[in-house]
């Protein structure tokens, strides 16, 4: 029996932990794909492992267990290796970084077979925090080696995934602006989605503020008094939200683990909705994949940001003896995805 190509997949590929999600056509929303029967275990360590005796490859928690038991070697920093084009020697064999990334992605995507044994990928969006062209191209190359070309795959930023996630929710949650606090090993940032409803389609922009100088992950680990940490975050939050009309706040990242910020979040709930979790980017990528598959309801939005071109570029001419416009690049397309080409015939020219 042949596989049905129908899976719409989002993959949040990060330096330490990654996440996989797949759109469920029964519940009409993305669902997290877990590594085990424990449905709360959806964070996949971004590492590989090789067993000493059999040279068998492992990934995620199994790779860490292999190293801790002394039965194999651990291969970590996969994304950094791709960005630096750094090969890795494993048992005397040199592995290119894209090959290692391909092995990791292949292992992760095999988890889909547990949920959907007779289906294959229709569209997949991989979302990255790192703004690295070499990493972006490395992901495309790894997917292509797996038989998933650019006609079925897209690589986008966390910014874009956040926009897709927020605006795929019920309208009451984005009635006004939408805010996001992201606190991980790289620091604390605040991103606010703005929507211009006077235009058609609605223009969706994003404002980012880096708050790491005031509260870094190092500070988080060093501050032992939760009251002090709570005080610092509360003042930061009140500062960035001052005079802002925000309907919903999302809270994500390893730094928000535990309950140290719960009192602040209750304060922030006054006049708005607040959601805390770590699967926002993976599910946002899944919504973006749904859009690529032509199943999205976001055609009334034009997503803009620092990575997108803000205007549509076209050439006016004639086609089939009629005036026509040939679009080279559409507004809201990431600049690194612009590759439009056009063959034209000029008037009033002589052949040389």
Cα 16 to Cα 49, 106, 145, 194: the distances in Å are: 14, 17, 23, 30
* pLDDT digits 0-9 by tens, 168-201: 999 999 999 999 999 999 999 999 999 998 888 8
pLDDT for the residue 1: 46
d(CA 112, CA 297): 25
pLDDT bin (cut points 50, 70, 90) of residue 350 is low
pLDDT for the residue 307: 61
Rounded average pLDDT over 128-153 = 96
pLDDT for the residue 298: 84
pLDDT for the residue 352: 47
- Higher-confidence position of 225 and 26: 26
* pLDDT digits 0-9 by tens, 277-298: 999 999 999 999 999 999 887 8
Rounded average pLDDT over 117-129 = 96
Give me the phi and psi of 13, to 5 degrees please: -100, 110
Share of the chain above pLDDT 90, in %: 72
pLDDT for the residue 72: 95
CB 139 within 8 A of CB 339: no
Strands (DSSP E) contained in 115-245 are 119-128, 153-157, 177-184, 187-196, 202-210
CATH topology of domain 170-279: Nucleotidyltransferase; domain 5 (3.30.420)
* pLDDT digits 0-9 by tens, 211-233: 999 999 888 888 877 788 899 99
* pLDDT digits 0-9 by tens, 251-263: 999 999 989 999 9
pLDDT for the residue 346: 61
The reply to whether 170-279 shares the fold of 4-159 is yes
CB 79 within 8 A of CB 100: no
pLDDT for the residue 293: 94
Residue 276 has pLDDT above 90, yes or no: yes
**pTM (2 decimals)?**
0.87
- In the chain, where are the structural domains located? 4-159, 170-279, 308-352
CB 250 within 8 A of CB 178: yes
pLDDT for the residue 338: 54
Domain 4-159 in CATH: superfamily? ATPase, nucleotide binding domain (3.30.420.40)
Rounded average pLDDT over 101-130 = 95
pLDDT for the residue 122: 97
d(CA 23, CA 199): 30
Q: What share of the chain is helix, strand, coil (3-state, %, to 5)?
A: 30, 30, 40
pLDDT for the residue 253: 95
Average pLDDT, rounded, for the chain: 88
pLDDT for the residue 35: 76
pLDDT bin (cut points 50, 70, 90) of residue 317 is low
pLDDT for the residue 309: 54
pLDDT bin (cut points 50, 70, 90) of residue 348 is low
Residue 3 has pLDDT above 80, yes or no: no
Q: Comparing C-alpha atoms, which of 179, 188, 193 is closest to residue 302?
A: 193
Q: Comparing C-alpha atoms, which of 273, 278, 275 is closest to residue 183?
A: 278
Residue 165 has pLDDT above 90, yes or no: yes
């Amino acid at each position: 029996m042949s596989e049905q190509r129908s899976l719409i997949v989002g993959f949040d590929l990060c330096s330490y932990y990654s996440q996989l999600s797949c759109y469920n056509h029964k519940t009409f929303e993305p669902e997290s794909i877990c590594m085990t029967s424990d449905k709360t275990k959806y964070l996949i360590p971004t590492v590989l492992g090789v067993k000493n005796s059999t040279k068998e490859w492992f990934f995620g928690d199994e790779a860490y267990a292999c190293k801790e038991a002394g039965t194999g070697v651990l291969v970590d920093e996969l994304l950094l290796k791709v960005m630096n084009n750094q090969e890795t020697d494993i048992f005397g064999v040199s592995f290119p970084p894209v090959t290692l990334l391909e092995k990791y992605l292949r292992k992760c995507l095999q988890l889909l077979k547990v949920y959907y044994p007779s289906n294959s990928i229709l569209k997949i969006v991989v979302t990255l925090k790192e703004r690295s062209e070499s990493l972006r191209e490395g992901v495309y190359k790894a997917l292509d080696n797996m038989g998933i070309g650019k006609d079925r795959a897209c690589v986008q930023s966390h910014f874009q995934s956040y926009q897709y996630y927020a605006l795929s929710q019920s309208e009451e949650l984005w009635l006004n602006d939408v805010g996001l606090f992201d606190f991980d090993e790289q620091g604390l940032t605040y991103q606010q989605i703005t929507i211009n409803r006077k235009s058609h389609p609605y223009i969706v922009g994003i404002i980012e503020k880096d708050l790491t100088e005031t509260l870094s992950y190092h500070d988080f680990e060093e501050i032992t008094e939760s009251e002090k940490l709570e005080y610092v975050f509360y003042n930061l939050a009140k500062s960035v939200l001052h005079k802002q009309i925000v309907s919903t706040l999302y809270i994500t990242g390893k730094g928000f683990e535990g309950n140290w910020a719960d009192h602040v979040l209750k304060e922030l709930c006054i006049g708005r909705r607040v959601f805390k979790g770590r699967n926002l980017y993976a599910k946002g990528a899944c919504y973006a994949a749904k859009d690529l598959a032509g199943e999205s309801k976001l055609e009334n939005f034009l997503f803009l940001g620092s990575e997108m071109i803000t205007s549509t570029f076209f050439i006016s001419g004639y086609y089939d003896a009629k005036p026509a416009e040939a679009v080279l690049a559409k507004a809201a397309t990431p600049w690194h995805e612009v590759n439009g080409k056009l063959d034209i015939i000029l008037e009033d020219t002589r052949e040389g």
